[in-house]
Structure 1
Amino acid sequence: MEKFKLLTELVSFRDIKNAIFGSLLVLCGLILAFLTLWANRTGNLRLASIFAFLSLIFVVVIIVFVLPPLVRNAAAETSRLDFPFEFTIGGAFLIGILIVVTFAALNTGNNLLFLILSVLTSAFLVSFFMGNACLKKLDVKMRFPDVAFAGKATPITVTLYNRKRFFPCISILAEVRGVDRKRSLLADELSKIFKIEWIDKFIKPPVIRYKLSYFVHIPRTSSVQIGINHVFENRGRFIIKDFELSTTFPLGFIQHRRRLSAEEVEITIFPKIVPLQIASLGLSSEAGKLEKLQRGSGSDLLMLRDYQPQDDLRYVDWKATAKTRRLMVRDYASEDRKSVQIFFDNRIVVSAQQKTQYIRHRIIEEQRQRRFSPISLRFEEAVSKLASLLYYLDHDQIETRLLLLDYASEFSIGRAHLYSLLRRLALIEPRLIEPDESLEYSDEWIIELKSDVGHNLFITFIEEQALPREVRLNTKIIKF
């Protein structure tokens, strides 16, 4: 019963309806085709023409409603296959012309048509063999920076090596292919119903393709290096699988492809950093600062004292000097940095129906590589603002600590610490809970909530009234 419930969460009534509708259309079209053939053989031409007209209507309906999703799915599946070439639109047009000219030449015996046919065939063969030779003996290398942020241009260096001794390479497009996870979301859900070995054989994560650079000309036995700025749209990971080189050289009729194996490298894309007003999150712009009663370079006056020879003349208080008739100097209080402790509760309270809908939306988002569901957009906004807050606090040299439900960092400062926190946020996903589920927190969280080590920020998606008393009393709550 539990497996059936999980299956109904993955397959909606709309999916079943569309499958039945498409199957009935195809079945009715086949039945009408057989009826047309039967009426034709029995000599009932009027009935045959009626059936033929109805068959034509069904063909049009199938082309409009059934064929497009099948083509999209087929394109997604064939992108995994290593086809060495495909015809461009111009190439498909050329094939059509070749077929027409061939039939015309054979039927008429016209020498001019045979001459045209030979020219077209020669152009097709030249395009095929030259394009295929252009992609041989090529190597590609790509160099990424250590850090990549979503929504920000990432500098990438692409180098293409031509090992051919006699011929250059012309018009080469270099792409990198990979995935954003080892196992697809659909496979994760289906593994709760079926054996994981079966699932992994038939369901793979969608292939992500990024165009790197276009190389116009690579001389023989040499290399060309191009630097580009690539923008990753979403946070997360990108696992490089291979490179793909393609060309339509020389005539643009055939697009040749060649895939080159690559060392599997995982790139983590940090969340998008957005302009952030600290006050918009309920913090003072001076968050993390505390004046200490000792000399320093703060902004508050500590005391007035007599001038000493080593003192800076910029700190002389001329008004006090005029009153006392002695050189008086201002001393300012120093600033002591306090720490900011951020608690991030990634749980979102949803109904059972919303949870089911979100699972379906996430599977579609994975295929389209674009987030559109309300829960995803809401969660991405929170992660982006949290990452931006950590980024700006680090820029202001304020110690930070991040606590997740399953992770707690140490108080620290600096780029290494910041990047370790952003790496966690790059891979975090929302945890959906139903209204009747418990909102308990670990003992470590409760202890840290009560500690007075600095500013406590609590970022959550849950209504404030539903949070435990310790959270409401000891933290500044920011709800998304």
Structure 2
Amino acid sequence: MNFRDLGQLFSLRDIRNAALGLVVVLGGIGLSGLTAYAHLNGNTRLAGISAGASLVFVLLILIFVVPPLARNASKEASQMNLPFEFTAGGAVMLGLLMIVGFSAWNSGNNLLFLVLSFLAAAMIVGFFAGNLCLKKLDVKMRFPETIFAGQETPILVSIHNRKRLFPSYSIVAEVRGRQRERSAYFDDLNQILPKWLAERLSRAPIVRRTLSYFVHIPRNSSIENKNNHIFPSRGRFVIKDFELSTKFPFGFFRHRRRLAAKETELIVFPKVENVSPAVMSIPLDAGRLAADKRGSGQDLLSMRDYQPNDDLRRIDWKATARARHLMVREFAAEDEQKVTVYFDTRMPAETVKPMTLRQRIDAENSGKEADRSPRFEAAVSQAAAITAHFCNTDAEVRLITPGETGGFGTGSRHLIECLRRLAVIEPAMQKSGEHRPIENLDEFLDDPSESHNLFITSANHGDLSLPPATQIIEF
């Protein structure tokens, strides 16, 4: 255990709150003991003073100790499979119920008992009505093949109500999953804490995304909604289960029911932004040379006899008149456009705003990516835009990243494969003065194919011997 780095897990505010809470709790316990001692000895004056001071400490506990514990308990409860939870309105209602109940019992007032019965009946009816709404509901969700970060994604959500007598109201459909199997900061925790404790604390948090809301689902019928959902950032999202919830009818409780789902991995592609003018002006046509083989180019290769299924537009009527039978033109194929994109993931660490380990873990638990550098994300988007641009021009494109060398390919399938790789790519942070070698650079330098080379990097490239035709794009 590294005690020097252990301070990264605790902020000054945490230590202050812990010390204050400990003092308040111990003070309250001490005053309670003093009150009991004064009663045993018949010292009513001391007992009254200590009892009043105890109430002050109870108030301090309610202000400084209970709220942080309640927030932490709420976070833990959201990760657990609890059938219901109190809403803010339900907590207020429960407080009123206790106050009215105590007043009615203390005073014996029949009117207060009547009010108490109405409040209790509303709580009970609201609880069972909300629980009934989620019974016998089945949910299905359909996601598109391609999902891009920051863009509206159409998602179809269907709910079938199998109840024969009762409809369902105010149903919220959510999907729950993980963005990774374990926390991105496991290595940092492993250096500070024992391994068993680091593994327990580094479980990846469950991320929930609200997809649709159903006002009314009739009995024994199905309702399908199409909603546009925006995934804020690129990456991987593994669906674990579905969750249906409702606050019907009075909003005192939030009932929820989790339904098993087939584990499915969604890949959110990076944003595809506009390509820079420098990339648009690359003279790819200079590499389109006529080849000595048949194809769909513009240069005439030979003449031959007409065969069934030949394109009638290729019939040469002058040659047909001379040969007295149908003749067609054959054209030479053209060399394909080839583009190689190398994405250098090296990133100076000082470009990322420094955060403590505790802050990064809290950000991850809240569903945010603390270490996501806007500069690196813009570079990933630019690499995706370049790849998409050249794939749309029917060029053969190859994407090389550290740790993986792809092959040349064309078409939408190849583009999707390249975008999948860019969706999960991570930066390689470099400390000040550190020089990290570039992986797979030999594949880029020793490329025997005559392709246009694009090198995307944020590091110093002055000491690299790149091919002369390489265009360097800095981010």
TM-score bracket, shorter-length normalisation: 0.7 to 0.9
Alpha-carbon offset, residue 84 of structure 1: 1.1
Output one character per residue of 1:378-414: Cα deviation in whole Å (capped at 9) or x when no partner.
Answer: 1111111111111122222222111111111111111
Deviations 1:295-330 (A, max 9, x none): 99999xxxxxxxxxx99xxxxxxxxxxxxxxxxxxx
Letter in 2 for 1:264: E
Answering whether residue 108 of structure 2 is matched by residue 112 of structure 1, we say: no
Any idea what SS the aligned residue of 2:171 has? strand
Q: Compared with structure 1, are the counterparts of its residues 264 and 192 closer, same or farther at alpha carbon in structure 2 (3 Å cutoff)?
A: farther
Distance 1:421 1:203 in 2: 30
Q: 1:471 matched to which residue of 2?
A: 466
Identical counterparts, % of pairs: 41
Matching residue within 451, 455, 472 for 1:454: 451
SS in structure 1 opposite 2:373? helix
2:365 pairs, out of 361, 364, 367, with 367
Matches within 5 A, 1:203-218: 203-218=202-217
Equivalent residues, number: 433
Is 2:289 the partner of 1:290? no
Cα distance in 2 for partners of 1:34, 1:101 equals: 28
> What's 1:403 paired with?
400
Return the alpha-carbon distance in structure 2 between the equivalents of residues 110 and 237 of structure 1.
Answer: 61
**Distance change >3 Å, CA 69–CA 290, structure 1 → 2:** farther
1:132 alignment partner in structure 2: 131
Q: For residue 339 of structure 1, what is the amino acid of its counterpart?
A: K
The answer on whether the counterparts of 2:340 and 2:454 sit within 8 Å (CA) in structure 1 is: yes
Q: Which residue of structure 2 lines up, in the alignment, with residue 326 of structure 1? A: none
- The separation in 2 between residues aligned to 1:137 and 1:57, in whole angstroms, is 45
- Whole-angstrom distance in 2 between the partners of 1:34 and 1:447: 71
Q: Closer, same or farther in 2 for the Cα pair 1:195/1:56, shift >3 Å? A: closer
Partner residue, 1:151: 150
- SS of the equivalent of 1:283 reads helix
- Look up the match of 1:432: 429
Q: TM-score, normalised by structure 1?
A: 0.79
Structure 1 residues 419 and 360, CA, compared in 2 at 3 Å: closer, same or farther?
A: farther
User: Alignment partner of 1:119: what SS?
Assistant: helix
User: Which of residues 8, 12, 21 is equivalent to 1:17?
Assistant: 12
| Contact 2:189/2:202, CA 8 A, preserved across alignment | no
Partner of 2:395, secondary structure, is: coil
* Whole-angstrom distance in 1 between the partners of 2:427 and 2:408: 25
Q: In 1, Cα distance between the equivalents of 2:408 and 2:244? A: 47
- Cα deviation for residue 234 of structure 1 reads 0.6
The Cα of 1:358 is off from its aligned counterpart by 7.8
Q: Is the 8 A contact 2:456 2:474 kept in 1?
A: yes
Q: Counterparts of 2:408 and 2:131 in 1: how far apart (Å)?
A: 57
Q: What residue is the counterpart of 2:381 in the other structure?
A: 384
Once structures 1 and 2 are overlaid, which stretch shifts more, 450-459 or 46-55?
A: 46-55
Deviation at 1:26, TM superposition (A): 1.8
- Of 119-128 and 106-115, more deviation after overlay is shown by 106-115
Q: Is the 8 A contact 1:355 1:432 kept in 2?
A: no
Alpha-carbon shift at residue 347 of structure 1 (Å): 1.4
Tell me the alpha carbon deviations over residues 448-471 of structure 1, each in whole angstroms, 9 at most, x when there is no partner.
325462221111121233x42x13
Question: What residue ranges of structure 2 are gaps of 5+ in the alignment?
Answer: 299-312, 315-332
SS in 2 for 1:262: strand
Q: Which string of whole-angstrom CA distances, capped at 9 and with x for unpartnered residues, describes residues 414-463 of structure 1?
A: 11101111101111111123345444345x52353254622211111212
Deviation of 1:114 after TM superposition, in Å, equals: 2.4
User: AA paired with 1:130?
Assistant: A
Matches of 2:357 and 2:87 in 1, distance apart? Answer: 37
Contact 1:365 1:372 (C-alpha < 8 Å) held by counterparts: yes
Deviation at 1:210, TM superposition (A): 0.8
How far did 1:228 drift? 0.8
> What is the Cα deviation at residue 181 of structure 1?
0.5
Match in the other structure for 2:419: 422
Cα-Cα RMSD: 3.6
CA 1:26–1:98 in 2, change beyond 3 Å: closer, same or farther?
Answer: closer
From the superposition, tell whether residues 201 and 372 of structure 1 become closer, same or farther in structure 2 (CA, over 3 Å): closer
User: Paired residue for 2:301?
Assistant: none
> Which amino acid in 2 is paired with 1:368?
S
Give distance in 1, aligned partners of 2:336 and 2:285: 5
Structure 1: gaps of 5 or more residues: 300-309, 312-333
